[in-house]
Structure 1
């Protein structure tokens, strides 16, 4: 019923309304959304208490999920004038097996709280590998904020049902006090733990660990390779040293072979030398903004060489310099990404290159016409549950 109410308010907002009518309808919609969250919290908690909530085990792309979360909460943080960054370690696996919806729910509770209780400063979400073996990987997720902080006494009851730091929290911020209790139960069902620490200067650090199975691949399947990019030889051509290093680290984390060149001339010569030696690069990632030339012009030169033209080319450019499909095809560019490129999109492009070379199944990436989500790397609440 609530979804029906919200759907009708959406339709009503799409009609011609007076300013007062639009304000009233918007208030109804927001109140309905808040009520739906409360209803879902109570239903989830009831299922958990009755032992009826099951954790799913399905294959999913973790990087895509994290990018989706970043896209959802960046506007919310910006609306309050606070920063929001994601810091994802390079060795985080792309493909894992677990429950993506419950992981999303836990992150939503922690990030929603962080935004709710932070009036100024920034929020940082971190993901790290806490441990792994041949079958599984334990990931640690952290949400750092510069909010109001939590007293030692309040922390002891924070993950209890219907608990908030104090009565004023409920009056000021609302919520059922169930979000963190549900998150705790979900984390434990997924083989992990959850907690909160005070940040060194201000605010809090909520963290949790969750165990995931590594995605299994049939070793007898046609075109099977141990990793989607394992053994793929990639050359990065970029004049910015930091960009070259970041890309090389990411490629190595994906088990691809990564070399780099600091100029168009050096990159071109390296590609030709590899081709003449009978070991051409499988793919090359070209920066659009190069001195004395462009990534697009460099791509055309590479494709004009009989030995090097077998190398698949990925062009990375700012939106204002993005080449149209006709230009890309003419220059021999296989895929184009817009800066700052999502790791998931780069992986998809290179996996498609690997699929062409080795016949393995891979996602088919699309041209990315709009700015992709950036991600910070290697950086260093009188709360209720939602």
Structure 2
């Protein structure tokens, strides 16, 4: 591995400093952060001088029209530039676009609101050299902290979001927007499709980083402007987490969603059956009505949520396939239950119930496999 930093000791017992020997690209997504831009440039400039940092600083701005372009121009630094983005807006797409524009082998992302201390950038780069694949500026490792006025609600929101991400990474602060990685690792990433603002978690999962380091930071409240963390962004995070779970634990997640839809189908079945019975229709009609409506709702929900990647295809052909898979599942259910009851299970008052449950389980698995690999099969598999 090429060395990207070294420690210098100023002779006569001087204090050790980190000299970064590889050029670094710092990407900062912005939207209406004109007041914070001059202060951030000044602090990064101080770090640059203290550690011989060869840096390019790229502000990726979502057409703020608030003086951000003028603020960068007024700074008069040839190593600083601002890109006004057109098209899809959002923090995560801005970061990815910035990384693709970056020219240097080390990539860093940080916020513009001065909540992330640029003074720890050399330590983050040193951690990369020590063997870490991805380095986070972390609030939750020993030595990390947040401002005292965070409040319980904000603390709880952060902790719950981190807990939801725990099956995806052992990092203590995967929600952080302050992180570093190598350009070569970023270039190998595939299927990047982030939603919302948690781009670090997207990269950890999609780049399959195992060695994630964390450098303690003090997370400060923003200096100027308003927070971009809205309820809408929090809901988008839930959607993002679902996507990442599907990416990392595809088969289990598809099965769980299929089972949830199946459970909703049972509720629909019983509700329709009860309604038709209340209307005075014969039992046979009520039973058929409950089954028919639940099959339709199961199909629609599976198409919309469980196998959402296939919802752009012909729905009528998919529905016909779903009906065929469901009918075969019923046959499997019945055959397994009958075989177990007659040939395997000892005769007890509950043997038929046990056989029926086993039949339901086998029928459900068959329905899932038929739906997953035939009705809603993926056409392309990316290695």
Shared fold, TM over 0.5 = no
User: Which of the pair has the greater relative contact order for Cα pairs under 8 Å at 6+ separation?
Assistant: 1
More strand by share: 1
TM-score relative to the length of structure 1: 0.20
More helix by share: 2
Question: Which structure has the larger Rg over C-alpha atoms?
Answer: 2
